[in-house]
Amino acid sequence: MYRFVYADNAATTPISREVIEEMMPCFELNWGNPSSLHAKGREAKDILENARERVAKVFNCNPAEIYFTSCGTESDNWAIKGAAYKMRERGRTHVVTSKIEHHAVLHTCEALEKEGFSVDYVDVDEDGVVCVDKLRELVSDKTALVAVMYANNEVGTIQPIEEIARIAHSKGALMFTDAVQAVGNVEIDLGSLGVDMLSASGHKIHAPKGVGILYVRRGVNIKNLVDGGGQERRRRGGTENVAFAAGFARALEEATKKIPELDRVRAMRDKLIQEITKIPYSKLNGHRTNRLPGNVNIGFEFIEGESLLLLLDMAGICASTGSACSSASLEASHVLLAMGVPHEKAHGSLRLSISHETSEEDVDYIIETVAPIVERLRNMSPLWEDVIKQQV
Ligand SMILES: *Cc1c(COP(=O)(O)O)cnc(C)c1O
């Protein structure tokens, strides 16, 4: 029986009813410019500052430490470039990041290299966890910034951020974490996490695309990325997107409220992993337990991930091979390669990212659909023919 199953929540999420309801008055009624001094401006300003306070409350930080941006990518760029340029003034021109970061971080670091910064990309182990000992060796009194993601978008591994922040600070470097995938999945307490900067994105937590935040700890000085008017305490120019800021705050509150309910999602994840890895020559990518509650990433030998996606799509299942960005480029995932997955196997991966909205029936449908498709694709593969011949 045909079903439509959306299992690509790591790429984007549908906008929730609550978020739409939160945003609607901002379009219809409170459309003023928050910088205007008149009544229409003041009401928009109130909504904006209220959104900032709500975000700060969830993260246990000060509202003055939260900046609204246009997306997660902008927040990542701002944190990394802003910190690097600032710290260069003190002779620090070295950046440490990991091999499994999102392209928003990796390509930003590569841009810094072209400007004369030196960047070290730390290895990860076979589960996709950053090698903390190697990182410790790399951080020095020349290091401006350590940038390590909180949770990986492809294989879902959660990183030891507190420990990494301590290492960064022991050498006087700043610590940034891209928490786009972690937010709403992990309790984040900025009072104890120890990072100087943290990014998040709206569309991964049921708010619209085109809104993000950057947390910058009080006292941490970074350069501006977007110069302009005096918005965001003169640190990020551009008339504020009041509706999306309000939507972001609501999405964050809702996602945080539902964190205890993630046990149900985790159980569905584990069922998917258990059942799908019964397929011969398949293997779970990433850590078995230390992974995002909704993340399943399984490698299949002797097939191409793209063909698998296409047939799943025809069966009504939206999935991914890894990140949406690398799917378009047909390159093997840099995350899987960094984890030591051989090139040919890195091409046959399937990422399912489920959510609170996923049902047991959806899970069963995925399980019963994947196996015959994998078999069908293998039967068309000359490599698979060799495997069968060797067995008889
Ligand atoms: C989606 C994502 C981003 C980019 O966020 P956008 O809002 O789409 O720019 C950055 N980092 C990670 C880990 C992501 O999953």
Residues 323-353: pLDDT tens digits? 554 555 567 899 999 999 998 888 899 999 9
State the distance from the centre of ligand 1 to the C-alpha of 359, rounded, in angstroms. Answer: 25
pLDDT at 344: 80
State the distance from the centre of ligand 1 to the C-alpha of 274, rounded, in angstroms. Answer: 28
* Residue 177 near ligand 1, beta carbon < 6 Å: no
Report residue 333: phi and psi, to 5°.
-60, 130
Contact 367/7 with Cβ under 8 angstroms? no
pLDDT at 382: 85
Contact 130/99 with Cβ under 8 angstroms? no
- Residue-wise pLDDT tens digits, 137-195: 999 999 999 999 999 999 999 999 999 999 999 999 999 999 999 999 999 999 999 99
Residue nearest atom 6 of ligand 1, based on CA coordinates: 72
Mean pLDDT in residue range 253-279: 98
- Residue-wise pLDDT tens digits, 296-314: 999 999 999 999 999 999 9
Mutation probe of ligand 1 site: the residue of 70, 98, 102 with most atoms within 8 A of C-beta: 102
Enumerate domains of the chain plus CATH numbers.
5-13+261-391 (3.90.1150.10), 17-257 (3.40.640.10)
Mean pLDDT in residue range 82-107: 98
* Residue 73 near ligand 1, beta carbon < 6 Å: yes
* Residue 198 near ligand 1, beta carbon < 6 Å: no
Mean pLDDT in residue range 369-382: 94
* Residue 181 near ligand 1, beta carbon < 6 Å: yes
Contact 61/188 with Cβ under 8 angstroms? no
Q: Which of 247, 187, 254 is nearest to 211 (CA)?
A: 247
325 assigned to active site: yes
- Residue-wise pLDDT tens digits, 22-54: 999 999 999 999 999 999 999 999 999 999 999
Sheet with 118-122, edge to edge strand ranges? 66-69, 212-216, 197-201, 174-178, 143-147, 94-98, 118-122
**Coil, strand or helix at 288:** coil
Contact 55/66 with Cβ under 8 angstroms? yes
How many C-beta atoms surround the C-beta of residue 175 within 10 A? 28
pLDDT at 194: 97
Instruction: Give the separation between CA 95 and CA 122, rounded to whole angstroms.
Output: 11
Residue nearest atom 5 of ligand 1, based on CA coordinates: 72
* Residue 208 near ligand 1, beta carbon < 6 Å: no
- Residue-wise pLDDT tens digits, 130-142: 999 999 999 999 9
Instruction: Give the separation between CA 335 and CA 195, rounded to whole angstroms.
Output: 23
Where residue 391 falls among pLDDT bands split at 50, 70, 90? confident
- Which of 26, 131, 318, 325 does the annotation list as catalytic? 325
pLDDT at 390: 85
* Residue 108 near ligand 1, beta carbon < 6 Å: no
Place of tokens 């600070």: 169
317 DSSP β-pair partners: 5
Place of tokens 């004369």: 116
| Two tokens, residue 298 | 């399984």
pLDDT at 343: 85
**End-to-end Cα separation, the chain, in angstroms:** 35
Place of tokens 């070295």: 94
pLDDT at 345: 85
Cα 15 off chain centre by: 17
- Residue-wise pLDDT tens digits, 46-91: 999 999 999 999 999 999 999 999 999 999 999 999 999 999 999 9
